[in-house]
Structure 1
């Protein structure tokens, strides 16, 4: 069985856990936490498949990802509810970064396999990575990470481009290219988290006030 299958399982699991952690932080009930965990895990891929329109949505065609999302969401809820574990400060960001990197790679792969061009593959990879997190944050009434000044979508774009270039131009095996793209996306995102790397804020230059002539 390909390691990409296990990466898919990993990405689904960590995104589900990240959804539950945010639900806990925003004081949702267990049903809310379950919904948030599952939507975070399958949301991005669902949007991708609707846009590409290549047959049934992935979790309808094969319910493995949906089952994994449900199981890990429930386990996370039970673990947090019945233990005194306090998750580390950066746990949500790190789990989100892992899921983000894995899902970007999976999104690029699925798009390339659907015979779409390289630009669309990068766009769909980014959408697969950030889509679930955007839905999660909006439902929790948080500003989505992708809209903050942290390096987030930029990491997905660079990782997706490395993935496509290494496969299409450098002719690397698709699995190797996928792993390379995932490593690049994850490395950039983790550096942004721990080194507090940010993109410049878009703002207009301050205009110099025009001095009015003095009148007697």
Structure 2
């Protein structure tokens, strides 16, 4: 893997993990979970998709095991979560959850696709791997919080945005576009697509 791409993916995963952890904290807060429950939800949300990806790619050790400072940061964040969430109570709402979830969706989906390509996976498998990386954290979060997963109850494009973005990345890779810019552009596409379709209330047919 190109060194610049390796660095870009590392930065992206760190941002995605933090974004998903925050969405997990917000969801745990709405369910009035205790500290242990909050940490569990944040961990599952942040690492669920990446762990599924690593299992499917037979990649060891898992990303969060290899980089132990990820769960350490989340643990510290959870320790101060009540104070932080109370302080920013006016801005921690459904909109914040939507934005952090969209950021995590874009970053994880493209990083998952890139790592699948690096493992010599076919295009279709790589795109599915990217979608799984992007959505499984949110699915596990919702299941733990006793909610029907957002991907199933919301007809607005979610996994669809991730899938299109992954194929956009594959196209950029096929034409030998700069790898780092390909990752950033495709990630931005998923983020914007998710927010725009939500804002415009675009819905998929039943």
TM-score by length of 2: 0.90
Question: Are 1:152 and 2:196 an aligned pair?
Answer: no
Using CA pairs under 8 Å that are at least 6 residues apart, name the structure with larger relative contact order, 1 or 2: 2
Q: Distance in 1 between matches of 2:78 and 2:51?
A: 18
Question: Are 1:35 and 2:44 an aligned pair?
Answer: no
Question: Are 1:194 and 2:194 an aligned pair?
Answer: no
Quote how far apart the aligned CAs of 1:67 are. Answer: 2.9
Structure 2 counterparts to residues 84-99 of structure 1, below 5 A: 85-86=89-90, 87-99=92-104
**In 2, are the aligned partners of 1:112 and 1:121 still within 8 Å (CA)?**
yes
Quote how far apart the aligned CAs of 1:84 are. Answer: 6.1
For 2:14, the equivalent position in structure 1 comes to 9
User: Structure 1 74/115 Cα, relative in aligned 2: closer, same or farther at 3 Å?
Assistant: farther
| RMSD value, Cα | 1.7
Gaps of 5+ in 2: none
Aligned length: 199
Gaps of 5+ in 1: 202-216
- 91, 103, 111: which is aligned to 1:106? 111
Q: Distance in 2 between matches of 1:170 and 1:149?
A: 33
TM-score by length of 1: 0.86
**In 2, are the aligned partners of 1:49 and 1:57 still within 8 Å (CA)?**
yes
Larger radius of gyration: 1
Q: Distance in 2 between matches of 1:57 and 1:4?
A: 15
Quote how far apart the aligned CAs of 1:71 are. Answer: 3.5
